[in-house]
Structure 1
Amino acid sequence: MDKITRTLGRSPETIAVFRALKLGDLLVAVPAFRALRRAYPTAHIALIGLPWAADFVDRFSVYFDEFIPFPGWPGLPEQTVDPAETTRFLTRMQERPFDLAVQLQGNGTCVNPMMALLGARLTAGYYPESLPQYCLDTALYMPYLEGQHEIRRHVQLMEFLGLPSQGYELEFPLTDTDCLRAENIPEVQTLEPNRYVCIHAGGISARRWPEYRFAEVADALAAGGYQIVLTGTASETAIVEKVKTAMKFPAISLAGKTDLGVIGCVLSQAALLVSNDTGVSHIAAALKTPSVILYSTSRPEEWAPLNHQLHRAVLESQATNSQRVISEAWTVLGH
């Protein structure tokens, strides 16, 4: 019997998962979400997340039944705190006490006090081992180990709670509607499956691999016969244009023309992704699209895809010129 069922005296009927972060952060937690759902197949499971994550819950409806927007909390940098809305959020949570609230946000120094205010019958998650006062329940909170891989970390929490692992594989479900929207984009219609490479030079990090280096990689792959597709959000259009302008070969720009589903369909038929460490790199890992990922501020030991044959991690310090990335790209492509 798992710890939750034993402590509660029954299987939980309602569960809230707190992870109010970005796309990549949620994708690497999917194996933990899968383990939670398999352990409690009839439970009503809600994700408490940033406003954008409503789309994530829709895509992962096999694991989640509800999305609860998170209004922010002092000390969390992802959004500005509205004290009145945060108070209303806590009141709403307390008015419908969940059987279980699971903290997957981080080490707990900032958010565990909030977890105690959610009104759940049980809470579980992480605490910093050096600060035991942040441990809300010694049976249900495990030490947060710095430097651990994010995928393994969250699966291990599930195992700590007595829920069997369902593997470390990522997922990114695609729908017929996603692919239909992709097919309706004129630029996508010109792409030959497995004969194009996606280049994603944007990302949320303040420091990224330079655009001209991405252009050098793109030109080398284009010279080898691959179409080049430059991807990015609307806010990354200027970055994409810098890459395109620096290139010698022609390239297709999809900047601002894709949503998550469309970029998933484009990546699913790509021969390769070359990207900074950002959300699309985890989509590629989920879709088993080969990739070469540049790490400027994050650590590959914590964030890189686990399949090192299909996905290559390159530190910015190892890529002072483009040759290392080009070499890794050709290796992954089988040349």
Structure 2
Amino acid sequence: MTSSWLQQHDSATVVIFRALQLGDMLCAVPALRALRTALPRARISLVGLPWAEQFASRFGRYIDEFIVFPGHAAFPEQAVRLDQLHDFYAGIRARRFDLALQMHGNGQHSNAIVRAFGARAMAGFGAGPGGKDEYLIPFPDTGAEPLRLLALATGLGAPACGAQLEFPLTGADQRELEASGITRSLAPGSYLCIHPGARSADKCWPPARFAAVADQLAIDPRLTTVLTGSPAEAPLTAAVARLMRRAPVDAAGPLSIGAMAALMRRARLLICNDTGVSHIAAGLGLRSVVIFSKADIRRWAPLDQQLHRCLWDPFGEQAQTVIDQARTLLSLR
């Protein structure tokens, strides 16, 4: 398969494999945008984790269909649903997609999965040259994740339509936020958001550090602190709130991802760990300070280093730097 494949298959059926969590999926948006631009009449299906049905719906401009992936023993994101494997692969193979696109890592395990889809052609990352009707490129050792994935799309002949992330908000997101009552006393631009949680607890900055930063930034009486998080993170936001001298608005728990993003869009700043909300902020154009402790900062930091300030602080020693970076961002016009 050559890089002119996309130009020859404007009405193709394409299946993309990327069974990962929120931040990883948002990093794929520039590649998805490029593919849709190259194939405006194609039917593009996404195979992903069950939660990502909402991702596919939100990005309906780029994705036409969502297919739930039942898991694989090599992938830790979910337990394998053995009872669903046969029907999943049989259903995919029966459809004979024109192109199967592997966008799930270096291909060590994912290429075998995507080959089992039985598509007429395959593309993705891989160590070798691939077989007949395959287009494989080496997985980049360096570079930001959106740029790595975009390189795959452009290698197939798609135009690079920018590396910026997106997070489109819907009317349902806004209505849910309004119904929650959280913003009743929060004027747009009058608050900052602190998101102290992450999917892995060992990626979380200490609650006492978030509280200290919030108290310093709230010296301006016009700036309210809003704590955000999933229902599972409500004990963590409560811990941060107890350590603060000035009571925050604790918005953890009831909001969906979309409503939480609508809340963040009205904020002046986000402070968070290296987690999915940092990529939501990038998609919203919301200024942020992102604290890294485990992941490769060169790969996962947002691309705009003026709008998003990232720092490495695995031991919670850089609170003053976080405060300084936050104040710089708050002063920007």
Query: Shorter-chain TM-score category?
Result: over 0.9
Quickly say closer, same or farther: Cα 1:272–1:5, change in 2 above 3 A: closer
Aligned-pair CA distance for 1:300? 1.8
CA offset at residue 148 of structure 1?
A: 2.3
Structure 2's unaligned 5+ residue stretches are: none
Q: Kindly state the Cα deviation for residue 177 of structure 1 after the two structures are TM-superposed.
A: 2.1
Tell me the SS of whatever aligns to 1:313.
strand
Residues matched between the structures, number: 329
Q: Following superposition of structure 1 onto structure 2, how do residues 17-32 of structure 1 map, counting pairs within 5 Å?
A: 17-32=16-31
Kindly indicate whether the alpha-carbon contact (under 8 Å) linking 1:94 and 1:119 is maintained by their aligned counterparts in 2: yes
Give the Cα–Cα distance (whole angstroms) in 2 for the partners of residues 254 and 137 of structure 1. Answer: 53
Larger displacement relative to structure 2 (228-237 or 317-326): 317-326
Aligned letter for 1:202?
Answer: G
Gap change, CA 1:323 and 1:3, over 3 Å in 2: same
**Alignment match, 1:271:** 268
Q: How do 1:72-87 and structure 2 match up within 5 A?
A: 72-87=71-86
**How far apart are residue 194 of structure 1 and its match?**
0.9
Q: Quick one: structure 1 residues 318 and 238, their matched pair in 2 at CA, closer, same or farther if it must change by over 3 Å?
A: closer
CA–CA distance in 2 between the matches of 1:136 and 1:204?
37
Residue 206 of structure 1 aligns with an amino acid whose one-letter code is A
Find the aligned partners of 2:6 and 2:252 in 1 and give their Cα distance: 48
Change (3 A) 1:136 1:268: farther
The amino acid of 1:165's aligned partner reads A
AA aligned to 1:56 is F
Alignment of 1:114-193 (within 5 A): 114-128=113-127, 132=128, 135-136=130-131, 140-193=135-188
Distance 2:74 2:137 in 1: 22
Task: Provide, for residues 30-53 of structure 1, a one-character-per-residue CA deviation record: whole Å limited to 9, x for no partner.
Answer: 000000001000111111000001
Q: Which digits, 9 at most, give the CA deviation of each residue in 1:44-82, with x for residues without a partner?
A: 111100000111111111111100000001201111112
Distance 1:3 1:327 in 2: 49
Q: Contact between 1:304 and 1:313, CA under 8 Å: does it hold in 2?
A: yes
Choose the corresponding residue for 2:205, options 202, 209, 220: 209
Change beyond 3 A, Cα 1:317–1:260: closer
The TM-score with structure 2 as length reference comes to 0.95
Shift, 1:321, TM fit: 4.0
Alpha carbons 2:103, 2:125 under 8 Å: kept? yes
Mapped partners of 1:261, 1:76: distance in 2:
27
- CA–CA distance in structure 2, aligned partners of residues 138 and 71 of structure 1: 26
- Alpha-carbon distance in 2 for matches of 1:215, 1:5: 51
In structure 2, the partner of 1:111 is 110
Provide runs of 4+ in structure 1 moved above 4 Å: 136-139
Q: Deviations over 1:100-143 (max 9, x none)?
A: 11000000001111111101111100013xxx28x345861100
Counterpart for residue 331 of structure 1: 328
1:196 correspondence with 2:194: no
User: SS at 2:182's partner residue?
Assistant: helix
Counterparts of 1:88 and 1:317, CA distance in 2 = 44
User: What percent of counterpart residues are identical?
Assistant: 41
2:214 aligned residue: 218
- On the 8 A contact 1:31/1:166 being kept in 2, the answer is yes
- Retained in 2: the 8 A contact 1:71–1:82? yes
Q: Which secondary structure state, in structure 2, belongs to the residue aligned with residue 153 of structure 1? A: helix
Alpha carbons of structure 1 residues 308 and 36: separation in structure 2 relative to 1, 3 Å? same
Please give the residue correspondences for 1:222-261 in structure 2 after superposition, counting only pairs within 5 Å: 222-225=218-221, 226-261=223-258
**CA distance in structure 2 between the partners assigned to 1:77 and 1:4 by the alignment:** 33
8 A Cα contact 2:22 2:276, kept in partner: yes
Give 1:88 shift: 1.6
RMSD: 1.7
Match of 1:281 in 2: 278
Q: Secondary structure at the match of 1:223?
A: coil
Partners of 1:3 and 1:140 within 8 A in 2: no
- Asked if structure 2 preserves the Cα contact closer than 8 Å seen for 1:4 and 1:12, the reply is no
Alpha-carbon spacing, 1:73–1:137, altered in 2? closer, same or farther (3 Å): farther
Q: 1:11, CA displacement in angstroms?
A: 3.3
Q: How many angstroms apart in 2 are the aligned matches of 1:30 and 1:76?
A: 22
